[in-house]
Structure 1
Amino acid sequence: MRIERLPARAGRRSGASAYKDLVWAVATADDRSEGVERQATQAFTKIDALLQELGSASDRIITVAVYLADIGRKAELDLAWDRWVPQDSSRWPMRSCVQAGLASGVLIEVVVTAVRDLEEN
């Protein structure tokens, strides 16, 4: 079975990869003039699209790692998070959130691991 890779906007890296029934995806916001909540919403939307392209979905996410430029703004992330995750608590992914040095203007980066149904691919 081959590794599937979707190109990222930046060169020499993938925005998402899949192998067997696992999918990994990473996203940041395109509009870096926005605050944490809007950047998170944009990143989550990109994650959704990447997962869909590789045969998964946000309700199949196992883990989410969130990197914030300023951990003091975590409450803003949580607003977008609450809109994005499924309402059913049995489908909530495990999430970690840490402060990290990110590129200029990037306030949040999101990395996920999800499962996919191989019958659909």
Structure 2
Amino acid sequence: MSIERIEVGKRMSQAVVHDNTVYLAGQVAHQNAGKSVAEQTQEILENIDRLLAEAGTDKTRLLSAQIWLSEISSFNEMNEVWDAWVAEGNAPARACVESRLAAPKFTVEIMVIAAK
């Protein structure tokens, strides 16, 4: 069983591939930090697409998603972007909760697991 790590840092890897499963770290919007929930969600989903492609898979193979919102009142705004992005008929198992994030400029964080 091999393990491949993508974008390895001192504290964490952005993605880890083990056998035929891809685990992504929680993604936040660095370029759109401090901007709207929709803008942050869009950037995060683009990062997820990029990391999944680098790992040899894509959003049609999502197994699960965890979403953290700094304010649950932004649930509908995030979902508008999410719903336009998720592959029709391939929605993952998903949880979405309100939580304090690592920095106030981040209002959304998303972590996914996908099959290869």
- The verdict on a shared fold, with TM-score over 0.5 as the criterion, is yes
Instruction: Return the letter of the residue paired with 1:109.
Output: E
Equivalence for 2:44 = 43
Instruction: Return the letter of the residue paired with 2:48.
Output: I
1:69 lines up with 2:76 in the alignment: no
Identical positions, percent: 30
SS at 1:65 equivalent: strand
Task: State the alpha-carbon separation in 2 of the partners of residues 100 and 14 from structure 1.
Answer: 22
Give the gaps of 5 or more residues in structure 1: 117-121
Following superposition, the deviation at residue 2 of structure 1 comes to 2.1
Superposed CA deviations along residues 41-93 of structure 1, whole A, max 9, x for unmatched, are: 10011011111101110110010000111111101101111111112x2x111
Task: State the alpha-carbon separation in 2 of the partners of residues 41 and 11 from structure 1.
Answer: 27
Instruction: Return the letter of the residue paired with 1:110.
Output: I
Following superposition, the deviation at residue 103 of structure 1 comes to 2.0
TM-score scaled by length of structure 2: 0.91
- Runs of 4+ deviating beyond 6 Å: none
Q: Cα RMSD (Å) of the superposition?
A: 1.3
Give the gaps of 5 or more residues in structure 2: none
Task: State the alpha-carbon separation in 2 of the partners of residues 11 and 80 from structure 1.
Answer: 31
1:115 lines up with 2:107 in the alignment: no
TM-score scaled by length of structure 1: 0.87
Give the number of equivalent residue pairs.
113
